[in-house]
């Protein structure tokens, strides 16, 4: 019999990689490898914080977020799987699927000071006490002076499955009213703030001037988020995904969200990348998906 894999606990080192717990009992890891700091919770394999030395956070995280078992975290990078938004067949099921509120296990990694850290998490399709998922899931983070997240899944059943996937990334910006998004020019979208009316973006970069909730089923990237007030620009490349979502709740919706500060809409922009709606993935028995997001940050040009 093959020996069991070594416990990743051997990688823990004070000051470099430590276990952390939220007051409500969510377990996570905190990393400080000299290139970046990061905090990942095991529930949802959820990257909640990421920053490079001397700079503001890359990811928005609400001061009102829950960090409790079974509740989604408001910020960072929630994983959307196996459906996006409402489950149309069963509207009582959680929004954005089950992956972001599911227990995951930290299974392996490689950690050295001043080198990109790799951390891998898994959640099998069948877990005691949890609803079944259509795939065995794995997420691998590479955390250095840039960020890479790889989300993988395999259909372990004898039947084909249809799934939606996304990184619901909350980017931190200095003022969303002074942001341009490049990469969505002339793309068609369903406008969720206007009864899903289908519209097309003009040739210019997108600016956020009102509540914005747009689903682009065909927008594979690459993207840039120019944060003019923050004098910085996120560069995003996506692999294995062809859809995007842009979301900012603006004033009225922000005030209705219990886990979000009334004024926090100015400091965040969700640019989500995934496979949504007509671009949902169909996996035959034993088939896999792999979707990757790479983020770099540079001063504004
Ligand atoms: C976006 C949706 O992806 O997520 C929005 O398009 C939704 O409609 C937003 O409001 C936040 O969703 P949740 O479930 O995290 O509150």
How many domains would you assign to the chain?
1
Q: Is residue 127 part of a domain?
A: yes
Of 91, 216, 270, 276, which is best to mutate to test ligand 1, by the most ligand atoms within 8 angstroms of its C-beta?
270
User: Given ligand 1 and candidates 62, 83, 95, 208, which is best to mutate, with the most ligand atoms within 8 Å of its CB?
Assistant: 95
Tens digit of pLDDT for each residue in 158-176?
A: 999 999 999 999 999 999 9
- Ligand 1 centroid to Cα of residue 301, in Å, is 31
Residue appearing with tokens 């929004």: 95
Q: What is the pLDDT of residues 29-70, one digit of tens each?
A: 999 999 999 999 999 999 999 999 999 999 999 999 999 999
C-beta 192 within 6 A of ligand 1: yes
HEC profile of the chain: CCCCCCCHHHHCECCCEEEEECCCCCEEEEEECCCCEEEEECHHHEEEEEECCCCCCCECECCCCCCCCCCCCCECECEEECCCCCCCCCCCCCCCECHHHCCCEEEEEECCCCCCEEEEEEECCCCCCCCCCCCEEEEEEEECCCEEEEEEEECCCCCCEEECEEECCEEECCCHHHEEEECCCCCEEEEHHHCCEEEECCCCCEECCCCEEEEECCCCCCEEEEECCCCEEEEEEEECCCEEEEEECHHHHHHHCCCCCCCHHHHEEEEEEEECHHHCEEECCCCEEEEEEEEEEEECC
Ligand 1 atom at minimal distance to the Cα of residue 213: 6
Answer yes or no: are the C-beta atoms of 72 and 40 closer than 8 Å: no
CA of 227 to the centre of ligand 1 (A): 22
3 assigned to some structural domain: no
Percentage of residues in the chain having pLDDT higher than 90: 97
Domain containing residue 112: CATH number:
2.70.98.10
Specify the residue with its C-alpha closest to ligand 1, atom 9: 247
Answering whether pTM is above 0.85, one says: yes
Closest ligand 1 atom to Cα of 72 = 15
> Which atom of ligand 1 is the closest one to the Cα of 215?
6
Cα–ligand 1 centroid distance for 168 (angstroms): 9
Structural domain contains residue 2: no
Ligand 1 binding pocket includes 247 (Cβ within 6 Å): yes
Q: What is the mean pLDDT of the chain?
A: 97
* Domain annotation covers residue 53: yes
The model's pLDDT over 196-253, given as tens digits with 9 standing for 90+, comes to 999 999 999 999 999 999 999 999 999 999 999 999 999 999 999 999 999 999 999 9
Whether 55 is in a domain gets the answer yes
Domain, as residue range, for 55:
8-299
Q: Is 164 in the pocket of ligand 1 (CB under 6 A)?
A: no
Domain presence at residue 247: yes
* Residue 1 falls inside a structural domain: no
Give the closest residue (by CA) to ligand 1 atom 15.
74
Q: How far is the CA of 53 from the centre of ligand 1 (A)?
A: 30
């Amino acid at each position: 019999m093959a020996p069991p894999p070594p416990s990743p606990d051997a990688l823990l080192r004070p000051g470099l990689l430590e276990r952390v717990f939220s007051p409500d009992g969510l377990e996570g890891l905190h990393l400080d490898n000299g290139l970046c700091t990061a905090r990942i919770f095991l529930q949802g394999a959820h990257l909640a914080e990421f920053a490079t030395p001397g700079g503001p956070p890359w990811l928005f995280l609400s001061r009102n977020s829950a960090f409790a078992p079974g509740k989604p975290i408001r910020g960072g990078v929630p994983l959307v799987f196996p459906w996006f938004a409402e489950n149309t067949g069963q509207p009582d099921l959680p929004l954005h699927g089950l992956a972001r509120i599911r227990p995951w296990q930290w299974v392996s990694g490689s950690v050295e000071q001043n080198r990109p850290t790799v951390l891998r998490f898994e959640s099998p399709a069948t877990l005691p006490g949890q609803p079944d998922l259509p795939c065995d899931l794995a997420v691998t983070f590479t955390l250095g002076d840039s960020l890479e997240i790889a989300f993988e899944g395999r259909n372990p059943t004898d039947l084909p499955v249809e799934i939606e996937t996304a990184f619901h990334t909350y980017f931190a910006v200095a003022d969303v009213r002074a942001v341009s998004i490049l990469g969505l020019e002339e793309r068609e979208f369903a406008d969720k703030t206007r009864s899903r009316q289908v519209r097309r973006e003009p040739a210019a970069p997108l600016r956020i001037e009102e509540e914005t909730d747009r689903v682009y089923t065909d927008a594979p990237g690459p993207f840039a988020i120019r944060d003019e007030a923050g004098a910085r620009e996120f560069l995003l490349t996506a692999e294995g995904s062809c859809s995007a979502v842009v979301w900012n709740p603006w004033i009225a919706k922000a005030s209705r969200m219990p886990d979000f500060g009334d004024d926090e809409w100015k400091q965040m922009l969700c640019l989500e990348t995934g496979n949504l709606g007509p671009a949902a993935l169909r996996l035959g028995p034993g088939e896999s998906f792999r979707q990757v997001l790479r983020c770099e940050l540079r001063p504004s040009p």
